[in-house]
Amino acid sequence: MARGRRFFLAARVLTVAVAIALTAWALPAAFGSNGNGRSSAAGAYGNAYGLHRVAVCHKGHTIYIAPPAVTAHLAHGDTMGACD
């Protein structure tokens, strides 16, 4: 009976170790990290709060902002997209 318990314990330890290893491998890919601490989706304008930047015409200049800031910019007269 003790041999069966040892096998069961070893199987559980191995399962937990594999789960930890898979999680450590999968999490950076799920959040867009490319392994050097920066997002692979950042592009030329960065990646604030895990969200892609949006082009807005602000006072005649094209700026790139995080999606949560779009509503505030549109409320004071800015327009979506790059300036002409």
pLDDT in tens, 41-70: 444 445 555 557 888 999 999 998 888 888
**What is the reported pLDDT for 75?**
92
Distance in angstroms (rounded) separating the CA atoms of residues 68 and 49: 10
Tell which wins on pLDDT, 1 or 83: 83
**What is the reported pLDDT for 57?**
92
Distance in angstroms (rounded) separating the CA atoms of residues 43 and 57: 19
10-48 pLDDT tens trace:
888 888 877 777 676 665 555 554 444 444 444 444 555
Could you give phi then psi for residue 24, rounded to 5 degrees? -65, -30
- Residue 70 tokens read as 């779009």
